Copies of this chain bind each other. A is one copy, B any other.
């Protein structure tokens, strides 16, 4: 008997696009851009490779959209963290802590970031998204700092925001790249202390509640 043609279900455009984007992000996170081939992506999304070119004009465009989706998701997750506290110090502490625990501090998230870097450097559209996202993150941090007493003028607040952002990013990097080198919660504590030292105040450890999506 001849191998029969594969069965399939028709889906809405948005669902299929989302599935393909998610599949691409998963693969890049796990193995880098090299393993995110059209065949692997289609396989992970449960379709055949031809469908990619039905919903995206090229694989490159799929990647570009995946990056954009990733940045948007990270931004909104990050903004949501701030809603969980009212006191300025507690809000800042939640902001710092969220970056230093899963799912943000995570090997896969870092793999995603690293996997995109070179493409971001060649593609002007992706570079713009990158700069925009980064600066928005830092602006949010700067606003948190400005809400604290005794943080000086705007120029000083900018410098403080850059420094705190550095602490957050650096510890995120270390914890994501070498998780076994740190005890559970260690980097979170260190990050809160360091940011506190830079700003000249004590930051309370936020609750254990972790960032998650519905």
The yes or no answer to A147 lying at the interface (CB within 8 A) is no
Give chain A's interface residues, CB within 8 Å of chain B. 31-34, 107, 110-111, 113-115, 117-119, 121-122, 130-131, 134-135, 159, 162-163, 165-174, 177-178, 181-182, 186-187, 189-191, 193-194, 197-198, 200
Least Cβ distance of A4 to chain B in Å?
37
**A162/B187 in contact, CB under 8 A:** yes
Known pairs A165-B170, A169-B174; A107 contacts B121 (CB<8 A): yes
Bound CA–CA A167/B166 (angstroms): 5
Neighbouring B residues of A130 by C-beta, 8 Å = 177-178
For A31, the closest partner residue in chain B by CB is: B118
Copies of this chain assembled into the complex: 2
Closest residue on chain B to residue A189 by CB atoms: B159
* Complex Cα spacing A145 to B8, Å: 63
User: How many angstroms from the CA of A118 to the CA of B177 in the assembled complex?
Assistant: 10
A72 to chain B, nearest CB (A): 19
Smallest CB–CB gap between A194 and chain B, Å? 4
| Contact of A163 with B117 at beta-carbon distance under 8 Å, contacts A33-B32, A34-B34 already known | no
B121 touching A117, Cβ below 8 Å: no
CA distance A197 to B200 in the complex (A): 8
